[in-house]
C-alpha cells in the first residue's frame, strides 16, 4: 500500500496522544477557520439537545456552519456544487435551492453524480446534462467521468470554486467518496478551488475495518488504498486524499478547504445527530442499511441476491434453493451483535426478479459490538458451504469490492472466516496508523 512514510511515522509517533489533544492539533491550515473551529468539538452549545428528542445531539453540518458564517468562504467566487438529494438543511431544504435564492452566493452550476443531482436514476445510472427545472441552473453529468474529461466539465462550467456536499455511508465501495476523489483530481487539472462541507459518518467514525485496496484492483468502487470500512467523514477523507493520493499538477495539490461539523462525536451513530436521513441512493433507505452495507454489499460479487428489489436491501440475502441451513450455520458462529433469521422474499427487480427465494435476514441487536465486514465474510463462507449453487460473478467483481484477490481465493480454499480476516491485518494496521493523522473529531 503506497501511503507516505512521513505521514505513517508522524501518525505512529502520535498514536498515544489523547483523542482531545489529537483533534486540537489536527486543525491545520487546510481546515476552514469558521467560528467555533478553535474550540473543543464537544462544547455545551455544540451538544444542545434537539427539541423533543432527549439525548440526541444538535449536530451542525458543514453547510450549516458555512451558512451561519454568511458564506464568507464563497465570497466573490463563481460556485459550482457537487451534490445529490442528501445535500439538505435540517429543515430538508436542498442546499442548491437555498444557495440559489441567496444573493450573497453566485451559484452558477450543479454537478450530478451517480443516481443524479435530484436522485431520479437507479444504480449505475445518472440524469445526463440538463437544466434544473427548479432553479434554471445548468446541471452537468459527472458520473463515470474523471481526469481530464471531468476537468473539462469544470472548465466549461466556468466556476472558480467547486463545493462538495454529499452524505457518505462509510464504505470504500460506495461511489460518492470516489466522486469526491475524482473531482479533487479534476480540480487540480482545471485550476479550481475545492471546498468540502462535512457530514456525519452514519455508522460512527470509531475505527477502520476490512481489507485495504490493492491498486491492481482499482475501479470506480475503489480508486486508492483505504480500508473497506474507513471510519472517516468525507472532509477527513478529502484531507487524506489530498496529501496521499491526488496527483500534483505543476507541483501543487488541490487548493482545499474543509468545513467541519460541530457537535458530532466519533462514537455517534446517525440517530444521535438529530439530522434528517435522506437516502443517498435508492437502495440505501435507512441508517440500518448503512450499518450492514460495508459487509453485505460483498454479495454483489456473487450469484446470490443482496436484497435489491426488497424493502430491506443488504439486510436480506438469498437465492433459489437456499433453505434454513444457512441461518443455522451463520448463527452457530456466534458473531457479535447480530443474529440471522431464515427468510423468504421475492425481489421486485435485480437478481431473481419476481421469484420467491430463500436466505437470511440480518438482525443487529447490539450495534456497538457488531462487526459488519467480518460478518459479511462469515456469510460468504457459510453460504458457499451450505448451498451447492454458490458462485462468484464471472467478472470477478468480488475482487473489486474487497480490493484484492485474497478474499476470494481463501474462501475457495476452505478458509475459516477468521483466517480470511487475519490475512488483511497488516495492511489494515498500516492504514489505521496513517488515518490517525487526518481525524478531526473526538
Per-residue pLDDT, averaged over 139-168, amounts to 95
Buried-exposed string 305-340: b where 16+ CB fall within 10 A, e elsewhere:
bbbbbbebbbbbbbbbebeeebbebbbebebebbbb
Helix/strand/coil percentages in the chain, nearest 5? 35, 20, 50
Give 144's pLDDT tier (boundaries 50, 70, 90): confident
pLDDT at 45: 33
Asked whether 87 and 96 are in contact (CB, 8 A), the reply is yes
- Statement: residue 1 has pLDDT above 60: no
pLDDT at 3: 54
| Residue given cell 446541471 in the structure block | 139
Judging by DSSP bridges, how do beta strands 255-259 and 338-345 pair with one another?
unpaired
pLDDT in tens, 281-336: 889 999 999 999 999 999 999 999 999 999 999 999 999 999 999 999 999 999 99
Per-residue pLDDT, averaged over 100-116, amounts to 92
CA distances from 174 to 61, 199, 293 (A): 20, 15, 9
pLDDT in tens, 401-418: 999 999 999 999 999 999
Asked whether 309 and 358 are in contact (CB, 8 A), the reply is no
pLDDT in tens, 58-90: 899 999 999 999 999 999 999 999 999 999 999
Cell numbers that stand for 433 in this block: 496508523
pLDDT at 286: 98
- Residues forming a β-bridge with 164: 82, 196
Please give the Cα distance from 257 to 28 (Å, whole number).
10
pLDDT at 22: 33
- Statement: residue 116 has pLDDT above 60: yes
Per-residue pLDDT, averaged over 388-406, amounts to 98
Per-residue pLDDT, averaged over 186-209, amounts to 97
Per-residue pLDDT, averaged over 334-339, amounts to 98
Angle between helices 234-244 and 176-190 (to 10 degrees): 50
Angle (CA) 260 258 101, round 5°: 85
Asked whether 180 and 235 are in contact (CB, 8 A), the reply is no
Please give the Cα distance from 24 to 400 (Å, whole number).
36
pLDDT at 122: 57
Per-residue pLDDT, averaged over 267-282, amounts to 96
- Statement: residue 118 has pLDDT above 90: no
pLDDT at 54: 38
- Statement: residue 42 has pLDDT above 90: no
Amino acid at each position: 500500500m503506497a501511503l507516505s512514510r512521513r505521514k505513517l511515522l508522524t501518525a505512529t509517533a502520535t498514536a498515544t496522544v489523547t483523542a482531545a489533544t489529537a483533534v486540537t492539533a489536527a486543525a491545520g491550515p487546510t481546515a476552514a477557520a469558521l467560528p467555533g473551529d478553535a474550540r473543543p468539538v464537544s462544547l455545551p452549545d455544540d451538544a444542545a439537545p434537539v427539541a423533543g428528542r432527549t439525548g440526541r445531539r444538535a449536530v451542525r453540518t458543514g453547510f450549516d456552519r458555512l451558512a451561519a458564517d454568511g458564506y464568507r468562504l464563497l465570497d466573490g467566487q463563481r460556485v459550482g456544487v457537487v451534490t445529490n438529494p442528501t445535500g439538505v438543511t435540517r429543515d430538508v431544504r436542498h442546499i442548491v435551492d437555498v444557495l440559489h435564492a441567496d444573493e450573497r452566493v453566485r451559484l452558477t452550476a450543479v454537478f450530478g453524480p451517480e443516481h443524479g443531482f435530484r436522485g431520479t436514476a437507479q444504480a449505475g445510472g445518472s440524469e445526463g446534462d440538463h437544466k434544473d427545472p427548479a432553479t434554471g441552473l445548468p446541471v452537468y453529468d459527472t458520473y463515470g467521468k474523471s481526469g481530464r474529461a471531468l476537468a473539462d466539465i469544470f472548465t466549461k462550467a466556468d466556476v472558480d470554486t467547486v463545493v462538495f456536499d454529499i452524505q457518505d455511508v462509510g464504505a470504500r465501495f460506495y461511489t460518492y467518496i470516489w466522486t469526491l476523489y475524482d473531482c479533487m483530481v479534476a480540480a487540480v487539472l482545471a485550476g479550481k478551488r475545492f471546498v468540502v462541507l462535512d457530514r456525519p459518518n452514519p455508522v460512527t467514525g470509531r475505527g477502520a475495518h476490512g481489507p485495504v485496496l490493492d491498486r491492481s484492483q482499482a475501479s470506480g468502487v475503489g480508486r486508492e488504498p483505504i480500508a473497506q470500512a474507513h471510519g472517516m467523514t468525507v472532509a477527513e477523507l478529502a484531507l487524506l486524499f489530498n496529501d496521499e493520493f491526488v496527483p500534483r499538477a505543476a507541483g501543487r495539490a488541490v487548493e482545499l478547504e474543509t468545513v467541519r461539523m460541530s457537535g458530532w462525536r466519533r462514537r455517534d451513530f446517525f440517530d444521535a445527530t438529530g439530522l434528517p436521513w435522506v437516502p443517498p441512493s435508492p437502495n440505501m433507505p435507512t441508517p440500518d442499511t448503512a450499518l450492514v452495507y460495508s459487509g453485505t454489499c460483498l454479495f454483489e460479487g456473487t450469484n446470490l441476491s443482496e436484497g435489491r428489489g426488497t424493502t430491506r436491501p443488504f439486510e436480506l440475502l438469498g437465492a433459489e434453493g437456499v433453505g434454513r441451513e444457512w441461518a443455522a450455520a451463520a448463527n452457530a458462529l456466534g458473531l457479535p451483535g447480530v443474529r440471522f433469521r431464515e427468510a423468504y422474499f421475492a425481489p421486485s427487480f435485480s437478481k431473481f426478479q419476481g421469484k420467491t427465494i430463500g436466505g437470511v435476514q440480518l438482525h443487529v441487536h447490539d450495534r456497538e459490538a457488531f462487526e459488519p465486514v467480518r460478518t459479511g465474510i462469515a456469510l460468504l463462507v457459510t453460504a458457499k458451504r451450505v448451498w451447492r449453487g454458490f458462485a462468484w460473478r464471472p467478472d470477478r467483481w468480488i475482487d473489486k469490492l474487497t480490493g484484492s484477490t485474497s478474499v476470494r481465493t481463501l474462501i475457495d480454499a476452505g478458509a475459516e472466516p477468521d483466517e480470511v480476516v487475519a490475512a488483511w491485518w497488516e495492511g489494515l494496521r498500516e492504514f489505521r496508523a496513517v488515518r490517525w493523522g487526518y481525524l478531526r473529531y473526538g
